[in-house]
Amino acid sequence: MLNVEAVSRRFARDGGAPVVALDRVDLTLREHEILALVGTSGCGKSTLLRILSGLDRPTSGRVALDGRVLSGPTPEIGMVFQEPRLMPWLPVRENIRLAVLDQPRAIQDQRITAALDRVGLNDAAEAWPKALSGGMAQRAALARALVRQPSILLMDEPFSALDSFTKTALQDHVLDLWGRGGFTVVLVTHDLEEAAVLADRVVVMRGDPGRVHQVVEIDDPRPRDRTGAEVQRIKRELAVSLEG
């Protein structure tokens, strides 16, 4: 699994002390959990996720995947960004193919079809990205991440640009995929209800310098009732942890 060991990340700032986006963060992912990362804006959530993905490197400390130091992106770790980031010049199917270019053609097609199936986008396989709704585009992005069959799926506020109905539907969908998939999810969110409904653990971060403030374990069995007392209680607990 993924181990974050004393990871710090500083960004140089013109004329002044560097920004300490992450300050000696330790974190160990568990097999097949959903971990939510919450915290105020600028506290380093995206920075941490980018380091976990291999897109960015820590200034000090290290990230190890199954004991090996992570030195860049790997097929075992998938990423869904806040925006779908589809190539506008490729139809949905070809966008997803980008994630499996290293496979033989027959396997590509087979896996793409399966991924489209899983996110319910079979009918839109040949569509241009410009023709997709926000929710569909984000599903396509999800399919592109899943088609590589990662063991860890990182998501940076993947639902934040969606209307609440689409958001809820997609949350349930991700939960369903996760339930069948066996992968681990790290989800950055600023929506405490999203964290309370989806997560096994919630890491509450505080910024300046970016540190892990508290880790909240959630034992509430799934499926959880969004309006139920337990979800509301966890939301309150998270809110207190964020502000207190």
Partner 1 sequence: MTAIEPIDNRPAVDLREEVARATSFSAVLTWLWWRAAPWVVPAVLVVAWEALGRLGVFAPNLVPPPGAVVDAVVKLAADGELVEHVAVTLGRVAAGFVWGVAAATVLGVATGVSATARRLLDPTLQALKAVPSLAWVPLFILWFGIFEESKITLIAVGVFFPVYLNLMIAIRGADRKLVEVARINGLSLWATVRYVLVPGTLPAYVAGLRGGLALGWMFVVAAELMGASEGLGFLMIDGQMTGRPAMIIAALLLFAVTGKLTDQLLVTVAGRFLVWQDSLATSEQESSHA
Residue 57's binding partner out of partner 1, ligand ATP, Mg ion, none, with CB under 5 to 8 Å set by partner kind: none
The two tokens of residue 171 are 């949350």
Q: How far apart are CA 189 and CA 51, in angstroms?
A: 17
User: If you search the block for the tokens 């986008």, which residue do you land on?
Assistant: 121
Instruction: Calculate the CA 37 to chain-centre distance.
Output: 9
Closest by CA to 23, choosing from 54, 60, 65, is: 60
Instruction: Measure Cα distances from 67 to 28, 201, 226 in Å.
Output: 12, 22, 38
Closest by CA to 44, choosing from 158, 238, 185, 208, is: 208
Region of 45-53, 96-104, 122-130, 131-139 interacting with ligand ATP (CB under 6 A): 45-53
Residue from 11, 66, 123, 236 binding ligand ATP (CB under 6 A): 11
Residue 87's binding partner out of Mg ion, ligand ATP, partner 1, none, with CB under 5 to 8 Å set by partner kind: partner 1
C-beta nearest to Mg ion: residue: 46
User: Mask: binding to ligand ATP, 189-208, rule CB under 6 A, as x and -?
Assistant: -x------------------
Query: Reduced to 3 states, what is the DSSP secondary structure of residue 68?
Result: strand
Could you list the residues that contact partner 1 (CB under 8 A)?
53-55, 72-75, 78-79, 81, 83, 85, 87-90, 98-99, 101-102, 128-130, 144, 148
User: Mask: binding to Mg ion, 16-55, rule CB under 5 A, as x and -?
Assistant: ------------------------------x---------
